[in-house]
Amino acid sequence: MTDLTTRWLDLELRSPLVVGASPLTDDLDALKACVAAGAGAVVMHSLFEEQLVEEQMAAHRFIDSRINMDAEARSFFPESEVFEMGSGSYCRRLELLRNALDVPVIASLNGISPGGWTQYARELEEAGAAAIELNLYDLAPDPSDTADTLEQRQLAVVRSVVQQVSIPVSVKLSPFYSALPAFVAGIEAGGARGLVLFNRFYQPGMDLDELELSREVVLSSSAELPLRLHAVAMLYGQTGLEMAVSGGVHAGDDAVKAVLSGASVVQVVSAVLADGAGALARINREMTQRLSGMGYQSLAEARGALSMENAPNARAWERLNYARLLHGWK
Ligand SMILES: Cc1cc2nc3c(=O)[nH]c(=O)nc-3n(C[C@H](O)[C@H](O)[C@H](O)COP(=O)(O)O)c2cc1C
């Protein structure tokens, strides 16, 4: 049977299936079931820059309220309505998960501007995070922000988080960079160890009867996987960063394709939210059967076999093939 152990961010994982950042953080029983079903690690949901900045503001407000500040001035500060879980309860949750689960627990920070909030990375390390996943979820709404200023700002965030901790840091990206390999080189130079490809954007739905936006989260399908496979296959061999595929892993073959493209691990969220830990057990079983059937002794042997660097017909990944495909369509 294929040896499924893998290295991810300096961690020895018994399986490449990782429970990705999600509300499952709050359900210990579900996470225990995921680990029993074969998960090799767990990522907690994110602690957001906005939460941490608000926490710092609250601390300042408290201090200010003890000094000479009148009520009117204090009312300029907004009260927090956005998030309930600050860094204290996040760290307590992290400690609980770390003690209850016998796989590494990875904490997630989510932010896009360099600033004091990145110092919370150290608290996460002290609370026992095995690594930190930094999610650069940026919608780039400001027309005065060029690709370069935005990327430089994001790289400053990466450097700042990396500098706070001695544990490894991975960076979770959106697919929308005009020159992904160059940006990835900047992330590597900034000291990160891994890449998580990709974020999914959560767009509001439109309620046409009420003429308003509706908040909804649509779970993924395997149709979202090829975008990730292409990026991983392109970057494999070009970057020293380890890679995780996040988005569209629903079946064993999805996970196998990610590994053949060059991924060290795959993160699974939607499949687990839809079908529980049984989904992980199924993906694990299907993946093992497929890799054994292909004659691979280990995951390491399979990794990158169909990347741009190694695939026998690697041109299929390239632009020329796109042109051929479009012309050849019947
Ligand atoms: C309900 C829900 C909550 C999520 N929360 C987070 C989060 O806090 N931080 C984060 O980086 N990603 C979060 N994600 C994104 C997932 O980690 C993952 O990247 C995405 O769902 C794609 O993987 P999938 O196709 O397996 O679902 C969330 C996804 C869902 C569905």
- The pLDDT, as a whole number, for residue 75 is 43
The span from the CA of 246 to the CA of 16, in Å, is 12
Q: By residue range, what is the domain housing residue 195?
A: 6-327
Helix or strand (DSSP H, E) at 149? helix 147-164
Q: Give the pLDDT mean for 188-197.
A: 98
**Count of domains forming the chain:** 1
> Does 123 map to a domain?
yes
- The pLDDT, as a whole number, for residue 70 is 47
Q: Which residues of 127-165 are buried (b: 16+ CB within 10 A; e: fewer)?
A: bbbbbbbbbbbbeeeeeeeeeeebbeebbebbbbbbebb
Q: Which two three-digit tokens encode residue 44?
A: 């907690």
Q: In which region does residue 140 sit, left (phi positive, over 0), alpha (psi from -120 to 50) or beta (all else)?
A: left
> Does 151 map to a domain?
yes
The span from the CA of 71 to the CA of 93, in Å, is 35
- The pLDDT, as a whole number, for residue 111 is 92
**Residues 22-81: pLDDT tens digits?**
999 999 999 999 999 999 999 999 999 888 888 777 766 655 565 554 444 444 334 444
**Residues 243-281: pLDDT tens digits?**
999 999 999 999 999 999 999 999 999 999 999 999 999
> Does 158 map to a domain?
yes
How far is the CA of 62 from the CAs of 65, 67, 68, 74, 123, in angstroms?
5, 9, 12, 10, 21
To test the ligand 1 pocket, which listed residue (42, 50, 200) has its Cβ within 8 A of the most ligand atoms? 200
Report the separation in Å between the CA atom of 197 and the middle of ligand 1, taken as the mean of its atom positions: 12
Q: What is the CATH number of the domain that holds 79?
A: 3.20.20.70
Chain Cα centroid distance, residue 117: 19
- The pLDDT, as a whole number, for residue 28 is 97
Report the separation in Å between the CA atom of 40 and the middle of ligand 1, taken as the mean of its atom positions: 17
- The pLDDT, as a whole number, for residue 59 is 65
- Cβ(108)–Cβ(46) below 8 Å: yes
Q: Give the pLDDT mean for 77-87.
A: 53
Q: Is the model's pLDDT at 82 over the cut of 70?
A: no
- Cβ(169)–Cβ(134) below 8 Å: yes
- The pLDDT, as a whole number, for residue 326 is 83
**Residues 124-168: pLDDT tens digits?**
999 999 999 999 988 888 999 999 999 999 999 999 999 999 999
> Does 217 map to a domain?
yes
**Residues 284-306: pLDDT tens digits?**
999 999 999 999 999 999 999 99
> Does 205 map to a domain?
yes
Report the separation in Å between the CA atom of 217 and the middle of ligand 1, taken as the mean of its atom positions: 10
> Does 179 map to a domain?
yes
Report the separation in Å between the CA atom of 11 and the middle of ligand 1, taken as the mean of its atom positions: 22
Of all atoms in ligand 1, which is nearest to the CA of residue 133? Answer: 11
Report the separation in Å between the CA atom of 249 and the middle of ligand 1, taken as the mean of its atom positions: 12
How far is the CA of 220 from the CAs of 58, 127, 135, 235, 277, in angstroms?
37, 32, 18, 23, 17
> Does 1 map to a domain?
no
Q: Which two three-digit tokens encode residue 130?
A: 């095995």
Of all atoms in ligand 1, which is nearest to the CA of residue 46? Answer: 8
Report the separation in Å between the CA atom of 70 and the middle of ligand 1, taken as the mean of its atom positions: 43
Q: Is the model's pLDDT at 90 over the cut of 70?
A: yes
To test the ligand 1 pocket, which listed residue (269, 272, 275, 280) has its Cβ within 8 A of the most ligand atoms? 269
To test the ligand 1 pocket, which listed residue (18, 19, 22) has its Cβ within 8 A of the most ligand atoms? 22
The band of 321, judged by pLDDT with boundaries at 50, 70 and 90, is: confident
Report the separation in Å between the CA atom of 330 and the middle of ligand 1, taken as the mean of its atom positions: 37
Of all atoms in ligand 1, which is nearest to the CA of residue 43? Answer: 17
Amino acid identity of residue 134, one-letter, is L
The span from the CA of 235 to the CA of 263, in Å, is 10
The span from the CA of 304 to the CA of 315, in Å, is 15
> Does 275 map to a domain?
yes
Q: Is the model's pLDDT at 224 over the cut of 80?
A: yes
Report the separation in Å between the CA atom of 220 and the middle of ligand 1, taken as the mean of its atom positions: 10
User: Considering only CA atoms, which of 89, 101, 94 is closest in space to residue 36?
Assistant: 101
Q: Is 79 in a helix, a strand, or coil?
A: coil
Q: Is the model's pLDDT at 110 over the cut of 80?
A: yes
- The pLDDT, as a whole number, for residue 65 is 60
- The pLDDT, as a whole number, for residue 235 is 98
Q: Residues lining ligand 1, judged by CB closer than 6 Å?
A: 20-23, 45-46, 108, 110, 135, 172, 199-200, 217, 220, 246-249, 268-270, 273
